[in-house]
Amino acid sequence: MAQNLAEIDAITAVGAPATFDNTIVALEGSGQALARVRAIYAVWTSNLLTDELEAVQTEMDPKLAAFQDSITQNAKLFARIEAVYQASTAKGSTLTPEQQRLSWLYWNNFVRAGAKLDAAKKARVGEINQRLASLFAKFGQNLQADEDTALFFSLEDLVGLPQSFKDGAAAAAEERGHKGEYAVTNTRSSMDPFLSSAERRDLREKVWRTYYSRGDNGDAHDNNALIGEILQLRAERATLLGFETHAHWRLGDKMAKTPDNAMALMMQVWPSAIARVENEVKDMQAIADAEAKAKKQPKFTIEGWDYRYYAEKVRLAKFDLDQNDVKPFLELNKVREAMFWQAGQVYGLGFAMVPDAPVFHPDVTVYDVTNASGAHVAYWWFDPYARKGKNSGAWEMAYRQQDKLGGGHAVLVSNNSNFVKGKPGEPVLLSWDDANTMFHEFGHALHEMSSNVTYPSLAGTATATDFVEFPSQVNENWVSTPEILNTFLTNAKGEPMPKALVDKIKKSATFNTGFDVTEYLAAALVDMKLHLAGAPKDGKAIDPDAFERDTLTALKMPSSIVMRHRTPQFRHVFGGDDYSAGYYSYLWSEVIAHDAFDAFVEAGSAYDKATARRFVDTIMSVGNTVDPADAFRNFRGRDPQIDGYLRAKGFPQAKGKAKAPK
C-alpha cells in the first residue's frame, strides 16, 4: 500500500498539465505489487479460510478500505483526472474511443466514490467504508462457520440416495473424524442431492432447516444485527453521495440505470413464475397424497423440504426421467473436457495441463491456455472440490486481467466449485444443474481469456454486473448440444448418453422452472426492496427476518419455496458491495443471453463460425471499452428482446411489443 501511494504521489507531483499518458496511463500501471498480494489474499480468504486468517482479515479489510478512500478522495489526483476527462470530451480530442472510455471510467468512479464532497462528508464516507469492510468480513466469517458444519447419519438413514452420494458422504465424514458415518455438509452441493433423493421426510426436514438457518440461529454466528447495521450505513452513505437510496447509487452506472427499470423486468416475470409453482405443487401434492393413501399414512402438505424430492417423482412420472440415470454420463472430468472442446470450437482456445505449476491445494490443477494462433493467453486454475474453510457455491476469480501495457500481460484466472469428493479413484458424478453451473462459471473465465484490450481496468469481466453475467449465461447453452452429448458426456464404459435419454432431457427442459425462477427472483426482489427502503424513520435498524417475511408475504411467495439465498446468508449482497441491490443482474443478463444465443440458432448451428467470430469480436474481446448496450447492439443489430427468455422458461409470451433491457 505504501508503494502504491508513493506512485500516486509521483503522479500528482508532475509539474506538467494533466494528460492521458501522465495521469490515466500512469494510474493503470500503478499498484501492481499490491494487486499481486491482494490476489493471493483473495485466494486464501475464499478457499482456505482459517482462524488465523480470519484475524488477519478482521484487521486488514478496514485498512484496505481506508487505503482505497485515500486514493479516491485525493483532491490533487481527482483534479488531474477531471482535466483529462474534460479534454477527452472536447471537440478535437485525439484520444481513441478506448482511451475516452477509460477517462470517463476513472472520472465516474471517483465522483461516485465522493471525490467532489467537502472534507467533512469525505471523512464520514471514509468512516462508513471502513466500518462496512469490517461488517462484510464478519458476515462472511459467520457464514463460513455455519457452512463448515455437517450432519452425520448412518447408512440406514440414506435410503434412496445413489451410491455416488454415499461414497462422497462417507469420505466427508471420515475427513471430519467420523469414520463409519455419512456427512451431509451444510452447503448446497450436499444439501441439494440429499433433498432430491432421501426417502426419510424427517431427515429431509432436518437438512433443510439446518441449511436455510445459516447465519440465522441467534448464536455467535448470527448475521441479522450485522445486516441491520450494513443497511443503515449504506443508506447514510447514499445520502451523503447525493442519491435517494443505496439502490439508486448502485444502479446509476449499470445497464438498468434505475431501480425502477430493474423492478419492472423482475415484476414482468414474477407472476408467471409463481403461477408455474402453483401448478408444480399440485402435481407433487397429487403424488404425495397417492403415496400416503397407498401406505395408509396421514396426508401432509408439500413443504420446502419436500419440493425437490417430489419434483423428481413428477419428473419421472411425466417424462420417465430419473436424474440418477443422467448422472453416470456427467462425470466431472468429462464435463471439463467438454468445456475445453467447446471453448476451442467457439472461442478458438486450447488447454494443456501444466503438471508442475504451483497450486494452493493438492486438488487444484492448472492449464496453459493458447489462442487459435498458438500464442499463450492465460493460465487457468481448476479447484472443484468442497473442503473446510472454502466458500460454498461456485465462482470465477481473476488473479490478473489481460492488458497490452509494458509488453502486455496474460490472464490468470480460476474456476472454483464445491463438488463432494468421493473415494480415491472413484468418479465424481454431477447433476444436470451442476454441469450447467460449470459451463456458466467457465463462461466468466472465457470472458477473461478472450479479452483483447489495452488497459487492465477495461479488460474481461470488468463490466457492469448486469452485463457481466451475460457471457456466462450464454455459455450454458452449449451443454445440451448434440456434439457434446454424443462425444463427451459418456458413461464409465465410454458409451454416449442414449438418444432416448437425451430426448427426455430436452422434452423436460422447462420442467420445474417455476421453482428455479421463483427461488432466485424472490432473493433478487428482497435485495432490491431492502436497499430501496432507506434508513427507517424511527432510527431503528431494519429487522432482516421480519422484512424478508413481510416482503415475501406481500409478493404472495409460495410457502413451499424459500429464497435461494435467505437474507442472513446472502453473501452476494452482504459479503461486499458489488452485488448489493444488484442480484437482479442474473435475470437481466439471462434475458439478453437467450436473445444472443438465438443468433446461433438462426444461423443453423451452435457452432456457426461466423456467428462465433462476431460474438467474440463484439462481446467477448471488448471488455468495458464499449458501453454494454452498444456492445449488444453491435452483435445482435438491435436492442434485446425478452421472448427468448420466456420461451426457454416455458412462460407465456409477452403481449404486444416485448419489454426488455435497453
Residues designated catalytic: 441
What is the CB-side half-sphere exposure of residue 345 using CA atoms within 13 A?
A: 15
Half-sphere CA count of 74, side-chain side, radius 13 A: 21
Residue 283 CA to residue 300 CA, distance in Å, equals: 14
Q: Spell out the SS3 assignment of 219-234.
A: CCCCCHHHHHHHHHHH
Opening angle at CA 640, ends 658 and 580, nearest 5: 100
Query: 645, 588 in Cβ contact below 8 A?
Result: no
| In contact, 584 and 524? CB cutoff 8 Å | yes
The sign of the dihedral angle between the CA atoms of 114, 115, 118, 120 is: positive
Beta bridge partners of 184: 151
Is 404 strand, coil or helix?
A: coil
**Residue 193 near residue 441, CB atoms below 8 Å:** no
Provide the 3-class DSSP secondary structure of residue 398. Answer: strand
DSSP string of 235-299, one letter each residue: HHHHHHTT-SSHHHHHHTTSSS-SHHHHHHHHHHHHHHHHHHHHHHHHHHHHHHHHHHHHHT---
Residue among 449, 395, 382, 472 at smallest CA distance from 45: 395
**Burial (0-12, 13-18, 19+ Cβ within 10 Å), 15:** exposed
The three-point CA angle 405-408-410 to 5° equals 135
As a whole number of angstroms, the distance between CA 598 and CA 593 comes to: 9
Strand partners, 183: 152
151 DSSP assignment: E
Evaluate whether 390 touches 571 at the Cβ level (below 8 Å). Answer: no
Q: Which three cell numbers stand for residue 521?
A: 427472483
Report the distance separating Cα 606 and Cα 614, nearest Å. 13
Handedness of CA 587, 589, 592, 595 (dihedral sign): negative
Question: Is the CB of residue 258 less than 8 Å from the CB of residue 538?
Answer: no
Provide the β-strand partners of residue 490: 496
The grid coordinates listed for 100 are: 475516452
Task: Label residues 524-536 b or e (16+ Cβ within 10 Å = b).
Answer: bbbbbbbbbbbbe
Q: How many residues comprise the chain?
A: 662
Of 400, 391, 343, 396, nearest in space to 370 by CA: 343
